Structure 1
């Protein structure tokens, strides 16, 4: 009987394994596929559930989600999560339980927040009661509009849930922008109770992405939208070494654009770490244009956890705006694929770009570092 119980426990654990895989799964023949997934409205967020289901959430007049169980080849009909309200971003997979958490705000923030939980990899959603604790400044942040959250895997905070957030101060008026800041919320009880982090080390920021590097350090990449900020058309980054409670080592990422470059307003971008054991390969998405239009959604690759970004590749040469990214999971139909959900494209609404690392590596060299030998492809 003891052996049967042990084997059953191992089977349950294997279903929610979040272990890193191998580089080869993201290589092979270069591939890119783009398809429309939603009409009209705004605000993308994409993640991959523990069973490999790709979940694409969307909406500025109510929030809905579509699900792919074949790695992004086909998609289910939309499932309505909330009839009205704003996409809050930060959709988070709990890699310990397999649950997925969705965040919705009643209107443009600051506004009341609802959290929904799915226990079946995104097929159905139930609203849950949640406690939000403020940071040391007494601020409970808004959710809109950030990239997906994650479960920490490495170090003493392994198992913690974390997602980027934004403090809007007294509102989204221009005179309040200098008081805005980006930050995060984290949970150590599977998403029932959340704590707000201290501010990102720059005011006038908001709409961000967080990934965990293989040493447990958190890499934070943010939009800036205040015209008086230094070099305000380029992205910002900082790091956390305490599981997302505080942020340090702020810097400007000069190689990465923050939206179209004719003004200092920025644009939401996507970020993902590829689940490759022993490597910190990151992919980042944003606009790459000198024109006064939101267009040309592009992907950049870093082989060293965001220290350098030596290659980029255009995904769509046309109207595009906010974007979100996620990477496929090992031993599921999503393995080896990177998923980019973005506003715009040939049909408007939301598009899904699906590609592999081999495709990105055949892009344009940026001059910011070099592609290492272990990533070179013929």
Structure 2
């Protein structure tokens, strides 16, 4: 395809002109020193400091080890169209401190740029930040067509940097990747991926949401020549929205999509060109909010014990933007047995990125997220010790019913996915007030071995007939936990 014309560049000096009223400071200490077993957090953007509002976090780690956090600077909380700009902060010490906020792209009204997604080419070091560009219309109002000069078409733009994020040049790829039959189209914010293994090694993949005939779809834009040209795959949907992809250890790509009441997933065997139909992942409740998925150790071969480890973040509820939770899967996302809450209160969009190659004993992970009703963009980091998990899915198999006033056994199965033996542990059930069930011993488990435990559950005679949610917790070594959720059905005695 014909090469795009490069648009005006933004330098670090010019970038400082916008938001000169102030740079957001840390919510906690000026320097965050991450001790083992801790979650550290600091606000890197605060509403009213430099811009009335900030939204839509994106995060990556460059080939030089620099962390880049990008997000929207907004005059209001509204999406495009509007006079939004894409800004960023850099950290050269692993997120301990952050340099002054700089602009990636900002123009006079009515032009606007928003919803950033970062993507690093690990082979060339080039950093991309994708975003939507508007004049008159946003996603729902955008016209069909792919005329790059039509003010009523929401445009597909990106900026790129070859100096570790200090300066940026801009390009428009609407005509390259947009089917003219589509209406709105925007890059799904957060972080894109580069495939590290197999037939499509080196391919850059950036997710988009598109609107076609009144329905929304998810689709991958991809490049096999380091971003010189881009192609668009086949949309999956309807029901698509902001979505992320991750390369699995078996060579497939998993697409994880914003959807309520549960996330939906699809799979590609051709490097993101086509996907299977969406299916619900009922282990991942979601209120239709942007989340994140990443491979924990993306460069290790399929034989490595952590090759199939994935991490996921979202607001783990079905009806509110709250309860920001991070999860670990040890089997390419088939099960999500490990979880821990980052923020039980108000939270919204989140995005994860590895802070190392993921092979050390206790590596850290970076998390950029929206906190406190969009008042802050917050950077957090945590390690495996803080996560406190164990690769051991827990499954509940309850009887058809538990009569009120009686004791009935509930079967809980624990399977070790570890590459080393697990010592004996215990499993317990979280139950409503007035119910009772003892903690039961789980025997030592060899790699791949499972065990079934029967837990006697006593239901009070006063219990109301109906269904009750429960969580089984497997505890081993006194601090490592995995979880499994289930439903118990209570009947009259």
TM-score range, shorter chain: 0.7 to 0.9
Give the TM-score normalised by structure 1.
Answer: 0.79
State the Cα distance separating 1:127 from its structure 2 match. 1.3
Compared with structure 1, are the counterparts of its residues 98 and 339 closer, same or farther at alpha carbon in structure 2 (3 Å cutoff)?
A: same
Which of 328, 340, 350 is the matching residue for 1:323? Answer: 350
State the Cα distance separating 1:146 from its structure 2 match. 3.1
Provide the C-alpha distance between the structure 2 equivalents of 1:130 and 1:155, rounded to a whole number of angstroms: 27
User: 2:378 — aligned with what?
Assistant: 351
User: 1:18 — aligned with what?
Assistant: none
**C-alpha contact 1:45 1:147 (8 A) present in aligned 2:** yes
Compared with structure 1, are the counterparts of its residues 370 and 86 closer, same or farther at alpha carbon in structure 2 (3 Å cutoff)?
A: farther
State the Cα distance separating 1:132 from its structure 2 match. 4.7
What CA deviation, in whole Å up to 9, does each residue of 1:26-76 have, x standing for no partner?
A: xx9422111111123211111111111111100042110111111111111
* Segment drifting more, 270-279 vs 126-135: 126-135
Provide the C-alpha distance between the structure 1 equivalents of 2:91 and 2:289, rounded to a whole number of angstroms: 27
**C-alpha contact 2:63 2:125 (8 A) present in aligned 1:** yes
Which of 207, 212, 215 is the matching residue for 1:164? Answer: 207
Partner of 1:91: helix, strand, or coil?
strand
User: 1:54 — aligned with what?
Assistant: 67
User: 2:480 — aligned with what?
Assistant: none
2:239 is the alignment partner of 1:209: no
Compared with structure 1, are the counterparts of its residues 45 and 313 closer, same or farther at alpha carbon in structure 2 (3 Å cutoff)?
A: same
Provide the C-alpha distance between the structure 1 equivalents of 2:106 and 2:392, rounded to a whole number of angstroms: 45
Partner of 2:386: helix, strand, or coil?
helix
**C-alpha contact 1:343 1:351 (8 A) present in aligned 2:** yes
Which of 299, 303, 317 is the matching residue for 2:330? Answer: 303
User: 1:118 — aligned with what?
Assistant: 161
**C-alpha contact 2:393 2:416 (8 A) present in aligned 1:** no
User: 1:223 — aligned with what?
Assistant: 258
Provide the C-alpha distance between the structure 1 equivalents of 2:321 and 2:415, rounded to a whole number of angstroms: 28
Higher helix share: 1
2:81 is the alignment partner of 1:81: no
User: 2:12 — aligned with what?
Assistant: none
Provide the C-alpha distance between the structure 2 equivalents of 1:342 and 1:94, rounded to a whole number of angstroms: 23
User: 1:19 — aligned with what?
Assistant: none
User: 2:446 — aligned with what?
Assistant: none
Which of 79, 90, 94 is the matching residue for 1:67? Answer: 90
Partner of 2:94: helix, strand, or coil?
coil
Give the TM-score normalised by structure 2.
Answer: 0.61
Compared with structure 1, are the counterparts of its residues 240 and 69 closer, same or farther at alpha carbon in structure 2 (3 Å cutoff)?
A: same
User: 1:86-165, aligned counterparts within 5 Å?
Assistant: 86-107=113-134, 108-109=138-139, 110=142, 111-128=154-171, 130=173, 132-134=175-177, 139=182, 142-165=185-208
What CA deviation, in whole Å up to 9, does each residue of 1:164-202 have, x standing for no partner?
A: 1110236xxxxx3xx1111110011211221111112x3
**C-alpha contact 2:61 2:353 (8 A) present in aligned 1:** yes
**C-alpha contact 2:330 2:391 (8 A) present in aligned 1:** no
Provide the C-alpha distance between the structure 1 equivalents of 2:172 and 2:285, rounded to a whole number of angstroms: 38
State the Cα distance separating 1:120 from its structure 2 match. 1.4
Provide the C-alpha distance between the structure 1 equivalents of 2:386 and 2:124, rounded to a whole number of angstroms: 33
**C-alpha contact 2:59 2:351 (8 A) present in aligned 1:** yes
Partner of 1:358: helix, strand, or coil?
helix
User: 1:193 — aligned with what?
Assistant: 229
Provide the C-alpha distance between the structure 2 equivalents of 1:373 and 1:95, rounded to a whole number of angstroms: 30
**C-alpha contact 1:142 1:167 (8 A) present in aligned 2:** yes
Which of 274, 294, 297 is the matching residue for 2:296? Answer: 274
2:418 is the alignment partner of 1:373: yes
Provide the C-alpha distance between the structure 2 equivalents of 1:371 and 1:355, rounded to a whole number of angstroms: 24
Provide the C-alpha distance between the structure 2 equivalents of 1:83 and 1:235, rounded to a whole number of angstroms: 33
**C-alpha contact 1:281 1:301 (8 A) present in aligned 2:** yes
Larger radius of gyration: 2
Provide the C-alpha distance between the structure 2 equivalents of 1:314 and 1:370, rounded to a whole number of angstroms: 23
Give RMSD over aligned pairs. 2.9
- Count of residues paired in the alignment: 328
User: 1:24 — aligned with what?
Assistant: none
* Segment drifting more, 184-193 vs 104-113: 104-113
Compare relative contact order (CA 8 Å, sep 6+) and give the higher one, 1 or 2: 1
